[in-house]
Structure 1
Amino acid sequence: MRAALAVGTLLIAAVTAVVSTGAINTVVEEDRQNDIARAMSLTCNAALGPVTSGPVGSGALDAGKLTEEQRGNVALIISIGRQRELPPLAWQVAIQAGMTESGLRSLNYGDRDSLGIFQMRPSMGWGTPAQVTDPMYAINKFYDVLEAVPNWRDQRPGDSAQDVERSAFPDRYHRWEPMAAHLIGAIGAVADPTGCGEGVGNLLPAPTAQAGSAIQFALSQQGKPYQWGAAITHQNSFDCSSLMLQSYRAAGIMLPRTSREQWKAGAWLPVDQAQPGDLLFWAYDPSNPATIHHVAMYLGDGKIVEAQQTGVPVHIRPVRWTEAELMPQAVRPGV
C-alpha cells in the first residue's frame, strides 16, 4: 500500500483557482501542459478512438452535464495523475471508474460499506472511512492498485477499471469512454489524448510507418496454430483478431480485442483501395457490421496474412475483392 502523495499547494491552488471562476478550463498553465505532453511521448491507442471537438461520439454532451463538484474531481484525478507521471490513459481509467461508481462524487454511502468516489470498502482493506472519502487519498489509492494490474496499458480503459473495481457488472465501465477521453482534452488540455490525431472520417492519410511494423510482426507469426479466444499475452497461437491486435500493439497502436470492435478502430476506405497494413473484414451480411466474424491484414499485391480457422496455421493467401462475405470497406487503424 502506498500512502497518498502530498501533492501540496500546487494542486490546492490549481483546483481552488479554477473552481472560483465557476468553470474549470485547465488544471495547469498551457506551456507546462505542452511540455508534459511532449515528455510523455504518447502512442496511438485506437481502442480509445480519435477525439474530436464535436458532440457526436466525443462525449462532449455527457461532459457538459457534469456539476462543478464532478468536474473538480476530474481535475484532481488529472492533477494527481500528472504528479505521479502517469499517462493520460491512467487518468481515463480513473475517470471512467469514478463516473461509474459514484458519478464522480465523494459519497458517504454505498453498497454495504462502499464509500467515496470509487466506492472503496474499508472492510476490504482500502483504507479507513475517513481515508476513502478523502478524494486525494482515494485517487492515489486507485492509482496504486491500477499500477499493479498487469498489462493495464495494453487494454481498453474500461477493462482496466474493472480490474481495479472487481464489479459484478464488468461491461458498465465502457459507457463513459467517450466522455472521459473528451475530459482529458478539455480539462487536462492534452490536445491529442489518444495519440491518434483528430478523427478524419473518409479523408485518409497515407499508410503509416506503424503499418510496416505491424506487417513485420504478423509475418513473423506464420506457421503458428490457430486457437479461438487465444490469449493476447503470448505468441504461441492466435485467432484472427488477436493476431491483428498484437501486430499493431507491437507498432505502438492498441486495437480492441474482437474483430467487430476492430471495425470501429480507424478510418474506413473502399476495400479495393486498401493499402498495406489496412484491415479487411468478413461478415455473414456484408451490409451489417454487427455480423463481422473475421479480420485479416492486407499486405498489398492482392495478398493478406491471417489466422483463419482451427487446423489452419497463420498464413499468407491471395484475396479477391469479389469474394463472398468480404466487407466493402477496409479499416486503417489509429486514424
Structure 2
Amino acid sequence: MRAGLLAGCVTTAVVLVLLAVGMVTILDSQQRQAAGVVPLSCNAALGPTQPGQADQGAAHAAELDDGQLGIVQLIISIGRERELSPRAWQVAIQAGMTESRLRNLNYGDRDSLGIFQMRPSMGWGTVAQVTNPPYQVNKFYDVLEAIPDWEAMRPGDAAQAVERSAFPDRYHNWEPMAVHLVENLGQIEDASGCGFGMGAALPSNSAAGRAIQFALGEQGKPYVWGATGPNSYDCSGLMLRAYESAGITLPRVSRDQFNAGAKLPVENAQPGDLLFWAYDTDDAGTIHHVAMYLGDGKMVEAQQDGVPVHTRDVEWGEPELLSQAVRPGV
C-alpha cells in the first residue's frame, strides 16, 4: 500500500533537494486560483508559526523519510483536488505527524489505525478503509469541513477538533514543520495569507505589513526629537506615520500609543506590534520609547540623537522593556 502511495509522487531525491534548498516554483495568487487552490484570508492569530521557528520547521522536515514525505504529498494533492485551502493541508499534516509520525500504522491505542489513528469502533470506517491512505485523508477532510468555523481556529486546535485527543496541546508542536511542508512541497508562497514581514515572520494583521514596509523604508533618516517625518523622526513619530500609511491613526506620543490597541504578552508579539520601554516597568506613565517588532528577534526604531532610523536585535529580558506589547488597530 505504501509503495502505491509513493508511485504518484516526485522522486525521493528531488523531494529531498526541494526541502534542503527551497528551490521550488512558487504559485502566485493567479496561479493558485488556476490550480484550484483556495487563497487564505489573513488572520495572524492562526499562525502559521511563531517568529523565529522557521529554521526549526525546516530541520524537522529534513528528518522525514520517503514514506512520510509520500504521505505529505498525498495530503497536499487530495487537499488541492478538493479545493481546500492550504490551511487545511497544514491541519492534516499536523494531525498526521502527531498521531502516527505520518505513517500508515497497522496498530495503535485500542483499535486505532493508520495515519490519523482512526478507530473503526468509533465509526471512522472499516479496518480496510482506515488503513487505506486516500480514504483516511479524505475522511479527515470530511470531518474537518464539518467543524463550524474551523478556519478561524489555530491549526493545532482544528486538528484537535477532528481527533478529540486527551492531549490537545501536542498538535501545536508541529506547526513550523507543517508550514515548511505546505510552502515547499505544496508550492505555496504564503501559508498564512498575511504576506511577509521579516524573514519567515508573520505580520500581526494586514495593516501591520504595510506599517512595517513604511518603517523599513525610512531607515537612514535622522532622529530629531518631536519630528514626525517625512525627513526625520523621533520614536513615536515613526510609529505614527508608519501606521498612518496603513490607515490606522495613533496618538502622537509613546505613552498614549501604549493604550492605542490590544495588549498582549511581549513574548507573543508578532511583526507590526509595538514594543515599549519605561523608566519604571510597573508604571506606564514613565514610558519613554516605542519601537516596532519585525519578528525573528528584530525591531525597527528611531532611537536617539545621532542614531538614524535603523533595525536592531531585541531581547525580551532587556532593561526597561515592558512586559506587554500593543497591536494597533485591534
TM score, norm. by length of structure 1 = 0.58
Does the Cα contact within 8 Å between 2:160 and 2:171 map onto a contact in 1?
yes
- Spell out, residue by residue over 1:104-132, the C-alpha distance to the aligned partner (whole angstroms, 9 max, x if none): 00000000000000000001110111111
The CA distance in 2 between the partners of 1:139 and 1:326, in whole Å, is: 45
Does the Cα contact within 8 Å between 1:44 and 1:196 map onto a contact in 2?
yes
Does the Cα contact within 8 Å between 2:113 and 2:131 map onto a contact in 1?
yes
The CA distance in 1 between the partners of 2:115 and 2:266, in whole Å, is: 29
Query: Who is 1:131 aligned against?
Result: 129
Q: 1:22 to 1:197 in 2, by over 3 A?
A: closer
Query: Who is 1:37 aligned against?
Result: 32
Query: Who is 2:167 aligned against?
Result: 169
Does the Cα contact within 8 Å between 1:33 and 1:189 map onto a contact in 2?
no
The CA distance in 1 between the partners of 2:13 and 2:133, in whole Å, is: 19
What secondary structure does 2:44 align onto?
coil
Q: 1:196 aligns with which of 184, 194, 197?
A: 194
Q: Which runs of 5 or more structure 2 residues have no equivalent in the other structure?
A: 202-210, 215-241, 251-258, 278-282, 288-319
Counterpart residue identity of residue 18, structure 1: T
Q: 1:32 to 1:55 in 2, by over 3 A?
A: closer
Q: 1:49 Cα deviation (Å)?
A: 3.9
Query: Who is 1:121 aligned against?
Result: 119
What secondary structure does 2:158 align onto?
helix
Q: 1:55 Cα deviation (Å)?
A: 6.5
Q: 1:200 Cα deviation (Å)?
A: 1.3
The CA distance in 1 between the partners of 2:130 and 2:17, in whole Å, is: 24
The CA distance in 1 between the partners of 2:41 and 2:249, in whole Å, is: 14
What secondary structure does 2:213 align onto?
coil
Is the aligned partner of 1:160 residue 2:158? Answer: yes
The CA distance in 2 between the partners of 1:40 and 1:152, in whole Å, is: 15
Query: Who is 2:105 aligned against?
Result: 107
The CA distance in 1 between the partners of 2:29 and 2:193, in whole Å, is: 14
Query: Who is 1:312 aligned against?
Result: none
Q: 1:149 aligns with which of 147, 150, 156?
A: 147
- Spell out, residue by residue over 1:298-326, the C-alpha distance to the aligned partner (whole angstroms, 9 max, x if none): xxxxxxxxxxxxxxxxxxxxxxxxxx995
Q: 1:262 to 1:212 in 2, by over 3 A?
A: farther
What secondary structure does 1:98 align onto?
helix
What secondary structure does 1:118 align onto?
coil
What secondary structure does 1:142 align onto?
helix
Counterpart residue identity of residue 271, structure 2: G
Does the Cα contact within 8 Å between 1:114 and 1:120 map onto a contact in 2?
yes
Q: Matches of residues 72-91 of structure 1 in structure 2 within 5 Å?
A: 72-91=70-89
State how many pairs are aligned.
Answer: 236
The CA distance in 1 between the partners of 2:180 and 2:133, in whole Å, is: 22
Q: Which runs of 5 or more structure 1 residues have no equivalent in the other structure?
A: 1-8, 216-239, 245-257, 273-281, 287-323
Q: 1:95 Cα deviation (Å)?
A: 0.4
Q: 1:266 Cα deviation (Å)?
A: 2.9
Aligned identity (percent) is 51
What secondary structure does 1:59 align onto?
helix
The CA distance in 1 between the partners of 2:168 and 2:68, in whole Å, is: 23
Q: 1:22 to 1:172 in 2, by over 3 A?
A: closer
The CA distance in 2 between the partners of 1:106 and 1:85, in whole Å, is: 24
Q: 1:68 Cα deviation (Å)?
A: 1.0
Is the aligned partner of 1:266 residue 2:261? Answer: no
Q: 1:34 to 1:326 in 2, by over 3 A?
A: closer
Does the Cα contact within 8 Å between 1:58 and 1:181 map onto a contact in 2?
no
Q: 1:151 to 1:55 in 2, by over 3 A?
A: closer
Counterpart residue identity of residue 166, structure 2: A
Q: 1:59 aligns with which of 34, 57, 63?
A: 57
Does the Cα contact within 8 Å between 1:92 and 1:180 map onto a contact in 2?
yes
What secondary structure does 2:45 align onto?
coil
Query: Who is 1:289 aligned against?
Result: none
Q: 1:263 Cα deviation (Å)?
A: 3.0
What secondary structure does 1:85 align onto?
coil
The CA distance in 1 between the partners of 2:329 and 2:80, in whole Å, is: 28
TM score, norm. by length of structure 2 = 0.59
